[in-house]
Amino acid sequence: MIHNLSKTNSIFATFLAEIRDAEIQKDPLRFRRNLERISEILGYELSKKLEYEPIEVKTPLGIAETVKLKSQPVLATILRAGLGMHQGLLNYFDRAESAFISAYRKHSTAEEFEIFVEYIAAPQIDNKVLIISDPMLATGSSMATVYKALLKQGIPKKTYIISAIATPDALDLCKRVFPDNTEYFIGGIDSELTAQSYIVPGLGDAGDLAYGEKC
How high is the pLDDT of residue 126?
96
How large is the average pLDDT for residues 57-62?
Answer: 97
Query: Beta strands of 123-178 (E only): which ranges?
Result: 129-133, 136-137, 158-166
* Amino acid at residue number 113: F
Q: Please state, as a whole number, how many other Cβ atoms lie within 10 Å of the Cβ of residue 146.
A: 23
pLDDT band of 105, cuts 50, 70, 90: low
Of residues 195 and 92, the one with the higher pLDDT is 92
pLDDT tens, 180-208? Answer: 999 999 999 998 888 778 899 999 889 89
pLDDT tens, 37-47? Answer: 999 999 999 99
How high is the pLDDT of residue 198?
84
Q: How far apart are CA 206 and CA 71, in angstroms?
A: 31
pLDDT tens, 167-178? Answer: 999 999 999 999
pLDDT tens, 133-158? Answer: 999 999 998 899 889 989 999 999 99
Spans of all domains in the chain: 2-211
- What secondary structure letter does DSSP report for 8? S
How high is the pLDDT of residue 106?
63
Q: State the pTM of this model.
A: 0.91
Domain over 2-211 is classified CATH 3.40.50.2020: yes
Q: Please state, as a whole number, how many other Cβ atoms lie within 10 Å of the Cβ of residue 183.
A: 16
| Dihedrals phi, psi of 40, to nearest 5 degrees | -60, -45
Give the 3-state secondary structure of 22-87. CCHHHCHHHHHHHHHHHHHHHHHHHHCCCCEEEEEEEECCEEEEEEEECCCCEEEEEECCCHHHHH
Phi-psi region of 118 (alpha: psi -120 to 50; beta: other; left: phi over 0): alpha
3-state secondary structure of 147: helix
Which helix (H) or strand (E) segment holds residue 208: the answer is helix 206-211
pLDDT tens, 7-35? Answer: 999 999 999 999 999 999 999 999 999 99
- What secondary structure letter does DSSP report for 152? G
Tell whether the model's pLDDT for residue 109 goes beyond 60. Answer: no
How high is the pLDDT of residue 117?
77
Give the mean pLDDT of the chain: 91
Give strand pairing partners of 161: 132, 184
